Amino acid sequence: MIELTVNGKKSSVDVEPEMPLLWVLRDVLDVKGPKFGCGIAQCGACTVHLNGEPVRSCSVPVSAAADQKVLTIEGLAQRGQLHPVQKAWIDHEVPQCGYCQSGQIMAAVALLAKNRDPSDKDIDAAMTNICRCGTYARIRTAIHAAAKTLKSTKA
């Protein structure tokens, strides 16, 4: 049995240690926010946080997440309050099909946790997830907007 904490909830799963975290989340724990896009850590649709770090869960064996904290899009809102990144994503109508967006949002949240005021270059470097619909311009705008919100709430 492998113990995981997903969005604050403890679970134990009886699976092969090499089974990717993505598929444990999706098929064993029914956490469907992280998506499958490529299986080789190229697209980032499966991005979740492992102890606060963004990881591509399709390429992380579940054993590497044992006894650690996993945060998915489902756990981002706190007490019914959307995360400022989610709020900015709604305000700027970022998603199109939306399939990549839980990964994009998790990548953006991780960026802003480390860098409260990212430059365009910082965003370029951090946001490597693929969006096939082409929402990149709005992702950039929304990250800047969320950074502003985070700054004003902290002040």
- The one-character DSSP state at 20 is B
Q: Which of 2, 6, 25, 33 binds other proteins (CB under 8 A)?
A: 33
What angle is formed at CA 86 by the lines to CA 37 and CA 22, rounded to 5 degrees? 30
Tell me if 37 contacts other proteins by CB under 8 A. yes
CB 62 within 8 A of CB 50: no
Q: Which of 3, 27, 53, 117 binds other proteins (CB under 8 A)?
A: 27
CB 99 within 8 A of CB 41: no
The rounded distance, in Å, linking the Cα atoms of 29 and 27 is 6
SS (H, E, C) 68-100: CEEECHHHCCECCECCHHHHHHHHCCCCCCCCC
Tell me if 43 contacts other proteins by CB under 8 A. yes
Q: Which residues have CB under 8 Å from 150's CB, separation 6+?
A: 84, 112, 116
Tell me if 23 contacts other proteins by CB under 8 A. yes
Distance in Å, CB of 25 to other proteins, minimum: 11
For residues 70-129, which are near other proteins according to CB under 8 A?
72-74, 76-77, 82, 86, 89-90, 93-102, 105, 123-125, 127-129
Distance in Å, CB of 53 to other proteins, minimum: 19
Q: Which residues bind to other proteins, rule: CB under 8 A?
A: 16, 19-20, 23, 26-28, 30, 32-33, 35-40, 42-43, 45, 72-74, 76-77, 82, 86, 89-90, 93-102, 105, 123-125, 127-140
